[in-house]
Structure 1
């Protein structure tokens, strides 16, 4: 027992490595995890003191625990059985498929990543790129929303920058849980998006098993009071119009609401920009009739470096105004009094939110310029455009929030027109401006179409239209 044992050096090293790993796993790692978890809990406690809506415990669950809750939901278990029978596979195979779906959907929220990095970064980026203007239709009603209610921000989808802008503006209220599309499922972006609390959606998945897994997560988040943000159009608008809602996500949220439980309150959020960075990509997608945009990561990187270089040389300025309107909250409990059927309730909710968002889209300068030029046959002088914009403003219906240039500010108008010339959307010959890309002009003009008089609407060319779908 006490005799020495001779070992080769490589074997001794291997034994020591295994011993170190075992000791770390059983002794060190749990202590380190406990330490960082305690720090995270203290951070969340401090954040909850200053947030209007505290971070819900459901968001702070370990991701693995959240996945287990989803896949053992009775409805998911039934869907697994049905999938196995319909596809002719074993139940354990179908269960693994459901688990893969859950791993894909469920986020991994980090309060440090969200409030320590994301909110600060979005604030900096938003103000560097845009002149951000905010309007609240009924701020008192928003502040009066029951603290126990689930808050859902419902947003029109103009640009991928929408995520950045809304995260910044809602940063003092709560941590938003976004419904992110397949575009974000690219490493390392997917890990960053998950850490911010977003959950992923396959827009084109039509299997019942996938929908049950997604529905289970959304319902549990709604029941737990998680503040959410959704884009009901299901994708970026390719026409500039506010598209019809896809009712899938809204139906899952309604399913997570109970008449005898806490309320679910929807806040319509309307966005508009003087410049949509993806404008040409979106219009091209509209022409082809597909949502498969041709923009690539290298193109995005080239655009970023080109913009930064021009900005440093003074040849580029900010992108103009980014206008945001927070609309009047819509209570699901109040809305449900108008119908007893869940399907009718979802359709009524979708229509109400679309109408509220559309009616509050901010008016900004570039759309007004485009309408003014289209009304004048595609050409105009500085003074002619200024006069036409004033006439358009006088005839605007529904009194939308107006963040456009002040009447008579020819210097600012000239700067906006020069920027459109640089982008080759307009051309300039002497004192006359002419539209070069009519589809781009129509894309911007469509964003304020609902406020225009009939003759102005008639001057806007038709672009590819969005098709309505009731599925996610």
Structure 2
């Protein structure tokens, strides 16, 4: 029974490795904030279970000895470790009244006599479900506060919550370094450092001290900006004042989370069951999570994940929860406020945001005040930079609205730093992909509802492969805004949004399905053999590995990855085994090519530099492209292509030359190109097979822009001037071009990319954003369209 209970209490392996490593270099002291016989027992037993052979001695027993200093020295020499509590009722009185030397002072004296360092590791047992409240209850007064419970409460907490506990071992204090300081308050400085370390670890896990909801509401509604807006509405009219206050109160109730540890634990149990049913495994890098935990000790954490599925917030918050990080307050759309999920999400930590609230001054003020309160109190926050879920597989270009509000809140009161954590969540198969395909074809999005939830039960009987969660290095706002004081706040927010989006893209894991989808759509229009597919994957992997891009574990064995993924594609009825005289041959069902397009898009950003450079290369080879004029010939094309694709990807100016040299290095290595004695670039036979793997995945996206350019020309010829393009008219042109067989990549034509293209053409020359001015320099709409078509023809 004891073994079973102790096994439930998590001991983090990274902390254990550090403890073992430093134990070989010096003596070890485990220092708790408060002395606890139970904690001493728990740590001693759990360390022994994890292969620690050193005996852990209680400092109380050593301090009883009149020669306490010698007793501790002997313990160290025998290889024993020592446990102590900084606040120990048994000795604090004696130390004060009788002038007894404190345990820390004793350890400092010992350190001055020995060469080997003494490492003091701050430790603590954290029970996640025991939130600390600002206002003490009668129970707290009788049985001890949550921070330092009495014996009875301690035992009850241990018995009830041991499954939801973690044994924290923080970064050690090296006494050998401390004794070199000239401070006369050495022991107090050490105690303060230990206490801060223990408290920081606890806050990361259980969150800030909980205030009553009414106090939070009062703080939000009494914000200076909220009061200012209310007074503007009131205009010295008591009735209008009351109405505005009532409206503000209603907004708070609509927005605010109502986190409950009980509901959070309920979600954990349900999701543990659900993930076991639908996923093979959820991958997460523990070392990346450790970096996040360290950042959470210094700043308010804001998690910014990619958004491809409604499961994103569930799977991410589940993994944070089971890894003992406090559940973030999640910015959820008001579309999720349907019964019963609205209440459940609110209890699990969601706060709700309207899709648009431009012009709603009072709502904006209340919402901004609420976000500011979360940051000031130290609550972690989570929101999706893309606004909504990606329907195309690519990361949607970031929206900066909520970031602007956060920046404003920080600049008004920057007493606490903010750390943004970009996160990529990638699925082998996305739960909603079939629905997305229908939306891409033009069907209206189905509204979230209880009925939709009931329909979703059918998904529980299917397997969706693995999930891959990656965390980029946190971006600290205090560092980011240095040197940007003269910049407009919305411009700063957009810069930050672009950097976060770039970081998310950089860490996105490449799955077997994404590579196989790209290979099928690029090389195998009608069908493929497994060997040919494996060959294509090897070219992709060679490029990805050269860029140190994260790939699924399954891709380390290409044959196994291909066999496994093609088996899934057969089960999903996307491909069929047609067979031929030479063996297995797989055909692609035409109506499912759009599904492959979706998964291809989940990784296409990784090969974009190579894709665009290769497009320019094959377009320029007939023009006697030479080693001496590569940059001169190819760079203008890259700038143009970036200009066209600025609504599809986060792109930056100035990296074109690097793209060119790195792509040529890759192509030469794989015998795709060569040079004649005069330096003229030659396309080799291998290049005719490999280069399309990189150009065609992007051509489908570019074809949407070519179609919109044709609509722009039609309008110009009809009206004699550049006119605003209407997406509905583009749809008619698509139907016409489909009938004529003018579209090479029908699976890539969709209303979302068309909408991006329409936005681009409607804004040419009207904005200084990104590449729009460069695009305007391409004279007229005819040359613009012809330039786009040039690249499509080159890759055909």
TM-score range, shorter chain: 0.7 to 0.9
Deviations 1:338-387 (A, max 9, x none): 31143333122111101101111111111111101001243222222222
The structural deviation recorded for 1:395 is: 2.0
**Is 1:362 aligned to residue 509 of structure 2?**
yes
Map 1:26-425 onto structure 2 (within 5 A): 53-57=204-208, 60-83=210-233, 90-114=240-264, 116-130=265-279, 131-135=281-285, 138=288, 141-145=291-295, 147-171=297-321, 172-206=324-358, 207-258=360-411, 261-288=415-442, 292-293=445-446, 297-304=450-457, 306-308=458-460, 311=461, 316=462, 318-340=463-485, 341=487, 342-378=489-525, 379-396=527-544, 398-403=547-552, 405-406=554-555, 408=557, 410=559, 413-425=562-574
The structural deviation recorded for 1:145 is: 2.0
Mapped partners of 1:421, 1:271: distance in 2: 25
The structural deviation recorded for 1:134 is: 2.0
Mapped partners of 1:398, 1:47: distance in 2: 40
**Any conservation in 2 of the 1:178–1:198 contact (CA below 8 Å)?**
yes
Question: Structure 1's 299 and 189: CA in aligned 2 closer, same or farther, altered over 3 A?
Answer: closer
Relative contact order (alpha carbons < 8 A, sep ≥ 6): 1 or 2 greater?
Answer: 1
SS in 1 for 2:370: helix
**Bigger Rg over Cα:** 2
TM-score norm. by structure 1 comes to 0.80
The structural deviation recorded for 1:408 is: 4.7
Mapped partners of 2:302, 2:448: distance in 1: 30
**Any conservation in 1 of the 2:223–2:369 contact (CA below 8 Å)?**
yes
Residue 697 (structure 2) aligns with: 457
Mapped partners of 2:234, 2:569: distance in 1: 57
The structural deviation recorded for 1:139 is: 5.5
Mapped partners of 1:407, 1:376: distance in 2: 22
**Any conservation in 2 of the 1:323–1:364 contact (CA below 8 Å)?**
no
**Any conservation in 1 of the 2:516–2:533 contact (CA below 8 Å)?**
yes
- The answer to which structure has the higher helix fraction is 2
The structural deviation recorded for 1:303 is: 4.2
**Any conservation in 1 of the 2:422–2:471 contact (CA below 8 Å)?**
yes
SS in 1 for 2:393: coil
Mapped partners of 1:353, 1:386: distance in 2: 34
RMSD, aligned CA = 3.3
The structural deviation recorded for 1:325 is: 0.7
Mapped partners of 1:268, 1:447: distance in 2: 17
The structural deviation recorded for 1:215 is: 0.7
Unaligned runs of 5+ in 1: 1-32
SS in 1 for 2:252: helix
Mapped partners of 1:262, 1:334: distance in 2: 13
**Any conservation in 2 of the 1:133–1:403 contact (CA below 8 Å)?**
no
Mapped partners of 1:36, 1:323: distance in 2: 42
The structural deviation recorded for 1:320 is: 0.9
TM-score norm. by structure 2 comes to 0.49
SS in 1 for 2:206: coil
Mapped partners of 1:145, 1:299: distance in 2: 39
**Any conservation in 2 of the 1:54–1:174 contact (CA below 8 Å)?**
yes
Unaligned runs of 5+ in 2: 1-136, 150-156, 169-201, 580-584, 612-694, 701-747, 760-796
Moved more, 116-125 or 214-223: 116-125
Instruction: Give the count of matched residue pairs.
Output: 424
**Any conservation in 1 of the 2:339–2:450 contact (CA below 8 Å)?**
no
Question: Structure 1's 382 and 185: CA in aligned 2 closer, same or farther, altered over 3 A?
Answer: same
Moved more, 401-410 or 173-182: 401-410
Question: Structure 1's 429 and 328: CA in aligned 2 closer, same or farther, altered over 3 A?
Answer: same
SS in 2 for 1:209: helix
Deviations 1:110-162 (A, max 9, x none): 12322x22234334433432221223685664343261410111101011111
SS in 2 for 1:322: strand
**Any conservation in 2 of the 1:176–1:227 contact (CA below 8 Å)?**
yes
